[in-house]
Amino acid sequence: MHAKRLAFLSLALGVAITGYMVLGARGSWSFILPFRGAKLAALLLVAMSISTATLLFQTIARNRILTPSIMGFDALYVMIVTLAVFFLGSRNFLAIPELVTYLTALAVMVLAALLLFGTLLLQTREDIMRMMLTGVILGALFRSLTSFATRMIDPNEYAVIQVASYARFNQIDTDLLGVSALLCLGALLAAWRIRHRLDVLALGREAAINLGLNPRRAAIEVLILVAVLVAVSTAFVGPIAFLGLLVVSLAHLVTPSGSHAILLPSAALISALTLVGGQTLLDRVLGLSTPLAVVIDFLGGILFLALLLTRMRR
């Protein structure tokens, strides 16, 4: 049953990709195909990163409502990049090779995520609501700090970052595609390799220990992967709050299973379909000017509310 559904999802994704590449093309194909191809590659990377990060995070948090975005991961990354501009000054910031800044921000991101969310996740699980609320408020705090830092920098420099803090699928920065793809594929591969361990972790702390795993160490490893994946996708397109929640919930619906060997590809396919298909539909077919991120946030927000109201009511 799952294999058939995965095949169907792949087929749908194939159609969406074709649509994205050919629809509304004006001009020579030799220009359009590589131009759109690079953006498509970035979209696919982002889609897989977000779905995988969300799935991993939900497994260690043992909660189907929490996602890295809801807990403020992407806001944290945007803040780190902004603070880098703030402290290094934009002239330096731009003079330092982009790659170095990028990797430094990534390293800081991994550390900060471990410190902040590691302690939050490893604390006693008695009050999941307070934990979620903490995440949401932390996200708000990071966003305010980002906006504060951007205001402290000259209005001129403000422009440098503003580009980096909105979800935008249309003007994807493809300069770093190579490095990001490498990082991202590495993290995705690592996630795939631990898929069986993830299945065991999902059983719960005591069951996982009984079967010989160290949940604490596993949580740290998974948090590192999540931090890298979120950083890469945020660097590409900016924060999209509810995409992860939306696609992973859909994956649980389409391929209900406790096995990450099924859930990981299923969520990745649905995520890619949502981004590529949604972008094609919104931009090339309907001709709407609203960014896809806004639509996803609206739908995902409603889903989140519905999940909270039905699942958490006792």
Contact 225, 190 (CB under 8 A): yes
**Beta carbon of residue 140, minimum distance to another protein (angstroms, whole number):** 5
Q: How many residues does this entry show for the chain?
A: 314
CA distance linking residue 48 with residue 259, whole number of Å: 17
Structure tokens at 184: 């991202």
Q: Assess 15 for contact with another protein (CB under 8 A).
A: no
Binder of another protein out of 9, 136, 171, 192 (CB under 8 A)? 136
Binder of another protein out of 23, 148, 182, 253 (CB under 8 A)? 148
Contact 272, 13 (CB under 8 A): yes
Under DSSP, the state recorded for 165 is G
42-50, 140-148, 167-175, 228-236 -> range binding another protein (CB under 8 A): 140-148
Within positions 22 to 81, which residues make up the interface with another protein, using CB under 8 A? 62
For another protein, give the closer residue by CB, 15 or 302. Answer: 302
Q: Assess 143 for contact with another protein (CB under 8 A).
A: yes
Handedness of CA 189, 195, 196, 202 (dihedral sign): positive
Contact 283, 19 (CB under 8 A): no
Q: Assess 312 for contact with another protein (CB under 8 A).
A: yes
Nearest of 162, 160, 185, 176 to residue 97 by alpha carbon: 176
Size of the site for another protein (CB under 8 A): 58
What's the angle, vertex CA 39, arms to CA 296 and CA 221, rounded to 5? 70
**Beta carbon of residue 127, minimum distance to another protein (angstroms, whole number):** 7
Stated as kind and residue range, the H or E segment containing 260 is helix 260-272
**Beta carbon of residue 304, minimum distance to another protein (angstroms, whole number):** 5
Structure tokens at 34: 């590589």
CA distance linking residue 31 with residue 34, whole number of Å: 6
Nearest of 241, 235, 228, 76 to residue 143 by alpha carbon: 76
Q: Assess 159 for contact with another protein (CB under 8 A).
A: no
Q: Assess 287 for contact with another protein (CB under 8 A).
A: no
For another protein, give the closer residue by CB, 99 or 288. Answer: 288
Site string for another protein, 96-135 (x = CB under 8 A): -------------------------------x-xx-xxx-
**The one-letter amino acid at 131:** M
Q: Assess 258 for contact with another protein (CB under 8 A).
A: yes
Binding site for another protein (CB under 8 A): 62, 127, 129-130, 132-134, 136-138, 140-141, 143-145, 147-148, 151-152, 155, 195-197, 199-200, 202-207, 209-214, 241, 256, 258-259, 288-291, 294-295, 297-298, 301-302, 304-305, 308-309, 312-314
